[in-house]
């Protein structure tokens, strides 16, 4: 695991952009994408690059990490809406090549199976990740087995509280989600984790400590041979 420490959020996004761009430039890559506030700056840079340099996404495939259960696909805070708003609507991607778990599916077990099969049949070239303040990746909360594959997860109180800033009230925050499992995430060829701000400092310190434990889902990444973690000074402040 390689740590890159940058001055601030903007610099973190620029560094991440360089790495993502190399993969996108191959033309027919498969990207593993993430939501949350952290990747927004990177998505803005990808959109800007598409507009300025006409970088094409026509043959790019994408798989998102997770999706809330219990809100409509059209809800402003669904990850489907988030991805369209922040990336897909601004690039020339073929929406048939875009994949997200369907948290609104009637049969959620079947949906987990469907998504997992897709992941088994496609190799993700680069998986983008944020990290929860409690060390979660995707929506794999502390205690998740490292051999988990796409499943329905119960969000912890901490995650519900952290994500309540996006909703009108905490009671509106979904309590469940469909997420890629840790095993799915580790199958990507390359993993790029971004973290900024003091709120992530504790999780980044624990990740840097190099102790592999299910209490810190992100620590599973130590078992992967190509992981780059880009952080700002605040997120790195407890290391």
Catalytic residues: 66, 134, 136, 141
140 binds ligand GLP (CB under 6 A): no
- In which region does residue 143 sit, left (phi positive, over 0), alpha (psi from -120 to 50) or beta (all else)? left
What percent of the residues of the chain are helix, what percent strand, and what percent coil, each to the nearest 5?
Answer: 40, 20, 40
> Which residue number, 30 or 38, has a Cβ lying nearer to ligand GLP?
38
User: What's phi and psi for 19, nearest 5 deg?
Assistant: -70, -45
Segment interacting with ligand GLP (CB under 6 A) among 28-36, 52-60, 115-123, 221-229: 28-36
Residue in 17, 3, 20, 12 with CA at minimum distance from that of residue 188: 20
34 binds ligand GLP (CB under 6 A): yes
Tokens of 37: 């506030």
Residues 38-57, one symbol each (x = binds ligand GLP by CB under 6 A, - = not), give: x-------------------
> Which residue number, 55 or 124, has a Cβ lying nearer to ligand GLP?
124
Residues 63-82 that bind ligand GLP (CB under 6 A): 65-66
Segment interacting with ligand GLP (CB under 6 A) among 13-21, 83-91, 130-138, 214-222: 130-138
Sequence-separated (6 or more) residues with CB below 8 Å from residue 12? 6, 41, 194, 196, 230, 231, 232
Residues 158-177 that bind ligand GLP (CB under 6 A): 159, 163
Which position among 9, 43, 82, 139 is part of the footprint of ligand GLP (CB under 6 A)?
139
Q: Is 180 exposed, middle or buried (0-12, 13-18, 19+ CB in 10 A)?
A: buried
């Amino acid at each position: 695991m390689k740590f890159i420490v940058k001055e601030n959020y903007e610099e973190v996004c620029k560094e991440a952009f360089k790495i993502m761009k190399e993969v996108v430039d191959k033309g027919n890559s498969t990207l593993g994408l993430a939501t949350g506030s952290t990747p927004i700056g990177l998505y803005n840079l990808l959109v800007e690059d598409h507009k300025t340099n006409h970088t094409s996404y026509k043959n790019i495939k994408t798989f998102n990490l997770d999706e809330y259960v219990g809100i409509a696909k059209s809800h402003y805070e669904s990850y489907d809406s988030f991805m369209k708003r922040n990336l897909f609507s601004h690039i020339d991607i073929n929406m048939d090549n875009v994949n997200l778990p369907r948290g609104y599916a009637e049969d959620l077990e079947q949906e987990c199976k469907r998504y997992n099969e897709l992941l088994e049949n496609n190799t993700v070239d680069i998986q983008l990740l944020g990290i929860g303040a409690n060390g979660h990746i995707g929506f794999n909360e502390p205690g998740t087995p490292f051999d988990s594959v796409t499943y329905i997860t119960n969000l912890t109180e901490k995650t519900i509280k952290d994500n309540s800033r996006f909703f009108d009230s905490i009671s509106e925050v979904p309590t469940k989600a469909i997420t890629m499992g840790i095993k799915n995430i580790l199958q990507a060829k390359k993993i790029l984790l971004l973290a900024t701000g003091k709120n992530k400092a504790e999780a980044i310190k624990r990740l840097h400590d190099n102790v592999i434990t299910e209490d810190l889902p992100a620590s599973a990444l130590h078992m992967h041979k190509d992981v780059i973690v880009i952080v700002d000074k605040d997120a790195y402040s407890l290391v």
